[in-house]
Amino acid sequence: MGKPLPVSESVEFDVQELQSNLVKSAWLWQEFSLKAAAAALGQLEQAAPDPAFKQTLNHWGLNLLFQPATVFAASTTLMQKQTQVWQRAITKLWGWSDKDISDSAKRDRRFKDNAWQTWAGEVLSQSYVNQAEFWKTLAQIKQGLTPREARQAEFFIQNLVDALSPSNYALTNPQVWQAIRDTNGANLVKAMQNLLLDYQDGELRIRMTDPNAFEVGKNIATTQGKVIFRNELIELIQYHPSTPEVRKNPLLIVPPWINKFYILDLREQNSFVKWAVDQGHTVFMISWVNPGAEHSNVGFDDYLQKGTLAAMDAIEKATGEHDINVASYCLGGTMTGMTLAYQAAKNDDRVKSATFFTTLLDFSEPGELGVFLDEAQIDALEKRMQDNGGYLDGKNMAAAFNMLRSNDLIWSFFINLYLLGKDPAPFDLLYWNSDSTRMPAKMHGYYLRNMYLHNRLREAGGITLNGTELDLRQIKTPAYFVSAYDDHIAPWRSTYKGAQLFSGPVKFVLGQSGHIAGIVNPAAQNKYGHWINDRLEADADTWFNNAKEVKQSWWHDWDQWVSAYAGGKVAARQAGAGELPALEDAPGTYVRRKV
């Protein structure tokens, strides 16, 4: 998490330096407190408890009264575990035993540092873990709750328990005390400086990486190409070939507009774009505009007509090829599925194969994001978007995703920045994650209500675009679905249900790891393997039980699969050399537009 502060040569405190640093850090803390208090007063009128949160926890708390046996059993288990902690602690304190006080706490990443391997650190960490397990057990009591309330209660309680970890507080984190000793308190000064730096406009915006370490087009998103088409919604990038011959049918990549496209083009070593170019594909990439107030009334009709369909028309002009292959990611995959259904209704057969990365088409089990969503939540969100000028601010979306993995994406950075006084390390993936985008109000409200809340895309005629009813079952295009085993944004069992909706040949592949690492898994590194089963079984678990594990990246398998739809070889096409001339160098203008 960045370079630690220099360690003092003496194990003894330099009292004068320590005193000076404590005074400096106290003054900086006072400055922060005044800013935070002023911001809180200014936002007091808008502040109100989340009604869903309040109602869910009220129901859950009342429900405990009707489960006395379960509560008593959990309390007894907690008492037994705590008694064991203190028995071990006392025997170790008096030298009667050298047996570890903690057991399960040692397996928790938050408590692996040597600073926790002291008598006090072990007692504290193991006591916390015991308490956390107790509350997790209570959160599993679901009798009397609706399925939604049960999921919400579990989510809220888990996040509360995570927030109360002793690692998150200076007084109870021995790593902080060790840092104070090693630096004579300089870590506290740096921590307060970090806090003030990240507290902007009344909000704490945690830096996950060094924001000055990367520049789009310079050391990230660097695959060479040209922007060959632009409208108010997209720029279309054509990448330069790296082989003398290329596959006849071009490849269009449709990324999600919930993030910038370059997750698939971070650096040369992990760029799917660069790798696909090197395999002989003529790669085109959609770069979505980062919308502002002027896009508030942009809807799914526009994302279809001015997005995917416009890109396909432009590719045909640029290359002269009618047939193409499409690969799409997450929300971009949902849009691609809608596009294919629209084309099926219009007898448009230009897409010869479609690849879907971690894509939801059936939203019956939408994963942890579904915790946030009901009619009241979406109504409130739509009002917030309208009050904000017609869009959802990117930082609000980022905060929701970070909450899904608060220990990894919030608290670990909080500790390093604001307690230990470290600087964030340069990390391409986290830079991309912080480069957030806005959501147009009309599109985003429609998406949440019709997909996440009512799951209408899976219904024949449930969604209408440009006056055409969509039916995913009419899609006969060969499809390749790749999902990730540990994906909590698009759970693989849910994506499997979506894959079953198509009528054409479908291949489902399950990669290891999560929503990002399961996809950005370079073929040259083969860090994660995948499971493969050529049969599309009746249900996801049957598919998995009959699947074979392959210890290499799924990129190899996909390239072999898509070759059947590549249409042979032709001379390499230079970006911008066709009917559509180059407008500017990749990665273009839209990707550089900040929130």
Residue burial 128-161, b: 16+ Cβ < 10 Å; e: rest: bbbebbbbebbbebbeebeeebbbbbbbbbbeeb
Other C-beta atoms within 10 Å of 212: how many? 8
Element (H, E) at 80: helix 68-93
Measured CA distances, 507 to 3, 283, 334, 510, 537 (Å): 45, 22, 17, 10, 11
pLDDT at 4: 43
Contact (CB, 8 A) for 587 and 221: yes
Cα 281 to Cα 291: distance, rounded to the nearest angstrom: 30
Other C-beta atoms within 10 Å of 60: how many? 22
| For range 138-165, the mean pLDDT | 85
DSSP class of residue 116? Answer: G
Question: pLDDT tier at 2 (50, 70, 90 boundaries)?
Answer: very low
pTM higher than 0.85: yes
Measured CA distances, 424 to 394, 402, 415, 430 (Å): 21, 17, 11, 10
The long-range contacts involving 571-574, CB below 8 angstroms and separated by at least 24 positions, are 571/244, 571/245, 571/246, 572/241, 572/243, 572/244, 572/245, 572/246, 572/282, 573/238, 573/241, 573/246, 573/282, 573/318, 573/319, 574/240, 574/241
465 contact partners, CB below 8 Å, separation of at least 6: 300, 301, 304, 338, 342
Q: What are the start and end residues of each CATH 3.40.50.1820 domain in the chain?
A: 225-399+432-592
Helix (H, G, I), strand (E, B) or coil at 337: helix
pLDDT at 89: 86
Q: Helices marked H in 435-476 — which ranges?
A: 441-447
Question: pLDDT tier at 384 (50, 70, 90 boundaries)?
Answer: confident
**Predicted confidence (pLDDT) at residue 455 exceeds the cutoff of 80:** yes
Pairing label, strands 506-511, 479-484: parallel
What is the percent of the chain with per-residue pLDDT over 90, rounded to a whole number?
A: 65
pLDDT at 470: 98
SS3 of the chain: helix, strand, coil, percent, to 5: 50, 15, 40
**Predicted confidence (pLDDT) at residue 38 exceeds the cutoff of 80:** no
Q: Give me 186's structure tokens.
A: 């300089």
The CB-side HSE value for 32 (13 A sphere, CA atoms) comes to 20
Q: Is residue 434 flagged as an active site residue?
A: no
pLDDT 10s digits, 546-557: 999 999 999 999
pLDDT at 393: 83
**Domain 225-399+432-592 = CATH 3.40.50.1820:** yes
If one compares 147 and 357, the residue with the highest pLDDT of the two is 357
Q: Give me 44's structure tokens.
A: 């007091």
575 contact partners, CB below 8 Å, separation of at least 6: 225, 226, 228, 238, 239, 240, 582, 586
pLDDT 10s digits, 235-249: 999 999 999 999 999
DSSP class of residue 565? Answer: G
Cα 36 to Cα 418: distance, rounded to the nearest angstrom: 15
pLDDT at 56: 76
Residue identified by tokens 């994906």 is 487
Q: Give me 261's structure tokens.
A: 């496209």
**Predicted confidence (pLDDT) at residue 47 exceeds the cutoff of 80:** no
Q: Which of 155-169, 243-257, 263-277, 473-487 has the lowest mean pLDDT?
A: 155-169
pLDDT at 355: 98
The CB-side HSE value for 571 (13 A sphere, CA atoms) comes to 4
Element (H, E) at 395: helix 394-404
Cα 418 to Cα 401: distance, rounded to the nearest angstrom: 21
**Predicted confidence (pLDDT) at residue 231 exceeds the cutoff of 90:** yes
pLDDT at 484: 97
What is the percent of the chain with per-residue pLDDT over 70, rounded to a whole number?
A: 93
Cα 311 to Cα 236: distance, rounded to the nearest angstrom: 7
Q: Helices marked H in 437-533 — which ranges?
A: 441-447, 492-499
Measured CA distances, 518 to 133, 173, 347, 524, 563 (Å): 29, 33, 34, 15, 22
Q: Which of 243-257, 296-310, 348-362, 392-406 has the lowest mean pLDDT?
A: 392-406
In angstroms, how far is CA 113 from the centroid of its own chain?
Answer: 27
pLDDT at 19: 83
pLDDT at 404: 66
Contact (CB, 8 A) for 482 and 509: yes
Question: pLDDT tier at 396 (50, 70, 90 boundaries)?
Answer: confident
* Catalytic pick among 5, 176, 311, 330: 330
97 contact partners, CB below 8 Å, separation of at least 6: 88, 91
Contact (CB, 8 A) for 345 and 463: no
**Predicted confidence (pLDDT) at residue 92 exceeds the cutoff of 50:** yes
Element (H, E) at 229: strand 225-230
**Predicted confidence (pLDDT) at residue 6 exceeds the cutoff of 50:** no
If one compares 545 and 142, the residue with the highest pLDDT of the two is 545
pLDDT at 21: 84
DSSP class of residue 113? Answer: S
**Predicted confidence (pLDDT) at residue 49 exceeds the cutoff of 90:** no
Cα 175 to Cα 166: distance, rounded to the nearest angstrom: 11
pLDDT at 42: 58
pLDDT at 50: 58
Q: Which residues pair with 173 in a beta bridge?
A: none
Q: Give me 591's structure tokens.
A: 């990707």
pLDDT at 3: 43
Helix (H, G, I), strand (E, B) or coil at 173: coil
pLDDT at 370: 72
Q: Which of 90-104, 206-220, 279-293, 445-459 has the lowest mean pLDDT?
A: 90-104
Helix (H, G, I), strand (E, B) or coil at 400: helix
Computed over every residue of the chain, the mean pLDDT equals 89
Q: Give me 86's structure tokens.
A: 């203190």
pLDDT 10s digits, 475-486: 999 999 999 999
pLDDT at 400: 67
| For range 180-188, the mean pLDDT | 93
